[in-house]
Amino acid sequence: MKILLASLPRFGLAVIALLLSLALRGQAGENPERPPNIIVVFADDLGYGDLGAYGHPTIRTPHLDRMAAEGQKWTNFYVGASVCTPSRAALMTGRLPVRSGMVSRERRVLYPYSKNGLPESEITIADQLKSAGYATACVGKWHLGHKEPYLPTNNGFDYYFGIPYSNDMDIVADLEAAGGYWNFFTSPAGAETESYNVPLMRNTEIVERPADQHTITRRYTEEAMDFIRGRGDEPFFVYLAHNLPHIPLFASEEFEGTSQRGIYGDVVEEIDAGIGRIRQLLEEEGLAKNTLIVFTSDNGPWLPFGIQGGSAGLLREGKGTTWEGGMREPCIFWGPGMIRPGVVTDLGTTMDLFTTFTALAGVPEPEDRPMDGLDLAPVLFGDGSSPRNTVFYYRGDELYAIRVGDYKAHFITQGAYGGEERAEHDPPLLYNLSMDPSERHNIAEAHPEVITEIQSAVAEHQRELVKGKDQLIDLDER
Amino acid sequence: MKILLASLPRFGLAVIALLLSLALRGQAGENPERPPNIIVVFADDLGYGDLGAYGHPTIRTPHLDRMAAEGQKWTNFYVGASVCTPSRAALMTGRLPVRSGMVSRERRVLYPYSKNGLPESEITIADQLKSAGYATACVGKWHLGHKEPYLPTNNGFDYYFGIPYSNDMDIVADLEAAGGYWNFFTSPAGAETESYNVPLMRNTEIVERPADQHTITRRYTEEAMDFIRGRGDEPFFVYLAHNLPHIPLFASEEFEGTSQRGIYGDVVEEIDAGIGRIRQLLEEEGLAKNTLIVFTSDNGPWLPFGIQGGSAGLLREGKGTTWEGGMREPCIFWGPGMIRPGVVTDLGTTMDLFTTFTALAGVPEPEDRPMDGLDLAPVLFGDGSSPRNTVFYYRGDELYAIRVGDYKAHFITQGAYGGEERAEHDPPLLYNLSMDPSERHNIAEAHPEVITEIQSAVAEHQRELVKGKDQLIDLDER
């Protein structure tokens, strides 16, 4: 336990207990000193209500449901933003995207004609794990810059395979003729993989264009498996970021038309089956007891697309908003013998994965910058509580809402695209999310003392906040 | 298998296989010929989204969740009406309440000043099981007539203990002074058990008035346990119909203030814990492998009561309506070694419990009247499908909607109490519930052929329907 003991002060007791237990039981493969493998599976636009274990009536996700039952099912787990690019920046850096500049008031995400990407100065979770000796792979959607300096292989990953941005970009269609953007996706042309000229990359090279999206979910799964297979004693980190169920929706022949929930269900069930295949591989490779799997999604369901979009279950609204449906996600932690099984109602965020996993790997956290992640080890591996008490809900670089404990205050609300207009609230709207997860009953009048407390938390946050330079604003000439 | 072989033609292969398997494994207690014990736990106004296994983020129901994982979790299970009295009539009789007359256009349920109750001519599930040699107990809310001829002990139950109607009745308060009916329940007076002069009965005698509602959930559980304890080889049927989480909400000292979801959560968690105690007792008594437990609720959440009401999860609307939130309920079947574990998306209804359990007990179904239940044995005990393809959504004696396969057509829609006004739809609103469980996307225009098919199913139903005489209309003089 050489590496680990060196950084002992950074570790909670729970992690020490976990590592000792791994060592004593010899579950860490041939070398009991090594930290566990880590697989983060990240879905795209999957809603809080879209898995069986989270209450969907017709989408069948037996593999994820089983992992939720064997591991931890988190019910108050948040992403760092309600749209792709900033949410992914938060996961990768362990920092609010407003710090790295991966947000903008002008546009919400990076586009194929965007100039920039994740600043070189940012440290990614892959950088951290690589420095601890992990082999690192990014398979799937990146969306933190598609130009070479910004690609995964320049951000701590040994290997990259995937579509570098969203699968609805590079549209090859006359959208006006197709009845507009919103109608295009449910039209026959919208269901053609050739309608999206998106590139598929291996490392820094484009290897296919347009990417065959029908097979993309299966190929991502298999690329991840190839990276894992035969790795033996070398610890690995796989970031498997599916491009789906973001529209346009595509499933492979084996899954298309098989679910009760239409193509959306086919896609989610194919992702679930892929996780089952990865689990099976871990068993075959003797790695099942030394690998952590985390499953979550980048933001809530894209509701304006009707049945092509997912469901936030009992949560209000979806993608693009700072209502709960936009930023609270299913999150399952699985790792037999490591993760203490149960339902967890404590607060967690994707930024905490950075902190938790780099601590687990024995790497010090960056000390030259403000970090937003917290170490979830006490909950994951012990019987402690989450250190997190606060969640920030940004839209672009503006703080729209904040959760402190059970209470959430909305200073600004706004629908995703169209719909609810921007509205500022003073006093803020106030909800008790434990009592009222659907944000139906504004209790601001009855609890001015809570609002006062929340406002001081906001003031403190804003005092120390240094916003990063907007990385989304600059575009190539077209 | 004497009793059972006598009625062999009524049995599906799945049931025969189950009973043979019970006999061979000697799991049926000392006498392998006996059919399994049956416990039906019926909650009141619990919503589709109010259990952990059905996606609630903060209500903790570990016992029900475990039963759902070990047994069957049904996701398309319906009640016979969206309010108490007719829903309970459907469960008890295996018939649409419009046939028994337990519906009315004038009022939706029975009141303390109602004259009548379930007609003597009706045959209950308890009558059926009693005739097969079961000891039968009704513990909890009855709401099918509180006068002696209508009580459980005159409807096939050997024993009754409970409040004979809803726990919000017999209000002892000046509602106008309290700010009206809707405000009363969240006022301090509304949280006093003495504010409701409801009687608690043992068999046909009132033993406590007002009933102490703080302890009612615990006492119901313990009465059920007392009935089960020491019963040994005699098969039993316990209908445990909790009065809660119908408002007003009360929990015992052990649970009050303990959940994250406020008093509503306290109540649901106390019901869950009670089921855990019953399971524990079954283990101790050696009955766990010969007892079926079914858990469901009488109708959806009573939404106008705000956080005092439950959640229908991703389903639309709640109690009192014919939207999915009013009539689709969580339903868990548990019976180790009997119930095939899994998630079931097939259609089922509470009326099917009548048919399934009386068939299981080897009793012929009544042949002198139309029955609405179907035998779910192929799904419960085998790997077959549900025979059910149709669900009727009545409000009073009017057919508001019908589900045929995946499609639901609304001919009339209306909110519960206040809210959405009554509206007739021609053509009907049409939803595909497998694709669109939240009833968001009306597809009537695109599917006239489905509407034609549904209209012929309605016509056939209405041709054969003989409405029973309204049993809810007559009141005592006051």
Structure confidence by residue, pLDDT tens digits, B245-300: 999 999 999 999 999 999 999 999 999 999 999 999 999 999 999 999 999 999 99
pLDDT band at A19; cut points 50, 70, 90? low
Compute chain A's Rg from CA coordinates: 21
Could you tell me the two tokens for A157?
A: 């990953």
Active-site entry in A56, A63, A138, A143: A143
Report yes or no for ipTM above 0.85. Answer: yes
Of A306, A343, A406, the CB nearest to B52: A343
Query: How would DSSP label each residue in B308-354?
Result: GS---TTSS--TTSSSHHHHEEEEEEE-TTTSPPEEE-S-EETHHHH
pLDDT band at B21; cut points 50, 70, 90? low
Are B62 and A437 inside 8 Å of each other by CB? no
Could you tell me the two tokens for A11?
A: 């570790």
- Is B258's Cβ below 8 Å from some Cβ in A? no
Cβ-Cβ contacts under 8 Å between A and B: the total is: 101
Q: Tell me the per-residue pLDDT of B106-142, one tens digit each, with 9 for 90 and over.
A: 899 999 999 999 999 999 999 999 999 999 999 999 9
Question: Are B13 and B143 a contacting pair, CB within 8 Å?
Answer: no
Would you call B194 helix, strand, or coil by DSSP? helix
Chain A residues closer than 8 Å to B75 by CB = 57-58
Q: Tell me the per-residue pLDDT of B197-238, one tens digit each, with 9 for 90 and over.
A: 999 999 999 999 999 999 999 999 999 999 999 998 899 999
Across A244-271, average pLDDT: 98
Q: Which of B28, B200, B56, B250 is nearest to A48 (CA)?
A: B56
Q: Which CATH number fits domain A2-389: 1.10.1040.10, 3.30.450.40, 3.40.720.10, 3.30.1330.40?
A: 3.40.720.10
Across A252-274, average pLDDT: 98
Chain A residues closer than 8 Å to B436 by CB = 307
Q: Which of A319, A445, A340, A327 is nearest to A392 (CA)?
A: A327
Q: For helices A262-284 and A62-70, give the axis angle rounded to 10 degrees.
A: 50
Collect contacts of A427-431 with beta carbons under 8 A, ≥24 apart: A427/A451, A428/A401, A428/A454, A430/A454, A431/A407
Taking the C-alpha atoms of residue A153 and residue A278, their distance in angstroms, rounded to an integer, is 23
Could you tell me the two tokens for B406?
A: 């995946």
Instruction: Write out the CATH class of domain A392-464.
Output: alpha beta
Of B69, B345, B440, the CB nearest to A69: B69
Q: Which residue has the higher pLDDT, B19 or A98?
A: A98
* pLDDT (0 to 100) of residue B12: 52
Test mutation, A78, A266, A434, chain B, max B CBs within 10 A: A434
Write b or e for each residue in B148-166: b if 16 or more Cβ atoms lie within 10 A of its Cβ, otherwise e: eebbbbbbbbbbbbbbbbb
B143 is a catalytic site residue: yes
Sheet holding A390-395, edge to edge: A390-395, A398-404, A407-413, A423-432
* pLDDT (0 to 100) of residue A1: 25
pLDDT band at A12; cut points 50, 70, 90? low
Active-site entry in B56, B63, B84, B246: B84
Sign of CA dihedral B99, B101, B107, B110: negative
Would you call A47 helix, strand, or coil by DSSP? coil
Q: Which residue of B has its CA nearest to A77?
A: B57
Of B58, B65, B69, the CB nearest to A345: B58
**β-bridge pairing B135-140 and B236-241:** parallel
* A2-389 and A392-464 agree in CATH topology: no
Chain A residues closer than 8 Å to B435 by CB = 58, 260-262, 307
* pLDDT (0 to 100) of residue B389: 98
* pLDDT (0 to 100) of residue B34: 85
Would you call B288 helix, strand, or coil by DSSP? helix
Of A52, A262, A434, the CB nearest to B58: A434
Taking the C-alpha atoms of residue B424 and residue B398, their distance in angstroms, rounded to an integer, is 12
Q: How many residues does chain B have?
A: 478
For B404, residues 6+ apart whose C-beta sits below 8 A from its C-beta are B389, B390, B453, B454, B457
Active-site entry in A84, A242, A246, A410: A84
- Mean pLDDT value across chain B: 93
* pLDDT (0 to 100) of residue A16: 58
B30 pLDDT higher than 70: no
* pLDDT (0 to 100) of residue B411: 98
- Is B419's Cβ below 8 Å from some Cβ in A? no
Are A311 and B60 inside 8 Å of each other by CB? no
Of A55, A69, A261, the CB nearest to B54: A55
Question: Are A276 and A175 a contacting pair, CB within 8 Å?
Answer: no
- Is B434's Cβ below 8 Å from some Cβ in A? yes
Q: How far is CA A426 from the centre of its chain?
A: 32
**Matching residue, tokens 């693009």:** A320
Q: Tell me the per-residue pLDDT of A289-346, one tens digit each, with 9 for 90 and over.
A: 999 999 999 999 999 999 999 999 999 999 999 999 999 999 999 999 999 999 999 9
B163 pLDDT higher than 50: yes
Taking the C-alpha atoms of residue B130 and residue A160, their distance in angstroms, rounded to an integer, is 68
Could you tell me the two tokens for B330?
A: 């969580």
Instruction: Write out the CATH class of domain B2-385.
Output: alpha beta
Q: Which residue has the higher pLDDT, A229 or B189?
A: A229
Q: Which residue has the higher pLDDT, B286 or A33?
A: B286
* pLDDT (0 to 100) of residue B1: 25
- Is A69's Cβ below 8 Å from some Cβ in B? yes
Nearest CA of chain B to the CA of A4: how many Å? 35
CA angle A416, B56, B243 (to 5 degrees): 130
* Percentage of residues of chain B with pLDDT beyond 90: 86
Test mutation, A61, A259, A263, A314, chain B, max B CBs within 10 A: A314
Q: Which residue has the higher pLDDT, A159 or B2?
A: A159
* pLDDT (0 to 100) of residue B16: 58
Phi-psi bin for A432: left (phi > 0), alpha (psi -120 to 50), beta? beta
Question: Are A351 and A85 a contacting pair, CB within 8 Å?
Answer: no
Residue B454 has phi, psi (to 5 degrees) of: -65, -40
For A440, residues 6+ apart whose C-beta sits below 8 A from its C-beta are A316, A431, B306, B307
Taking the C-alpha atoms of residue B354 and residue B128, their distance in angstroms, rounded to an integer, is 8
* pLDDT (0 to 100) of residue B7: 37
Sign of CA dihedral B361, B79, B46, A77: positive
From A39-53, A175-189, B353-367, B432-446, the region with the lowest mean pLDDT: A175-189
Chain A residues closer than 8 Å to B406 by CB = 260
Q: Where are the domains of chain B?
A: 2-385, 392-464
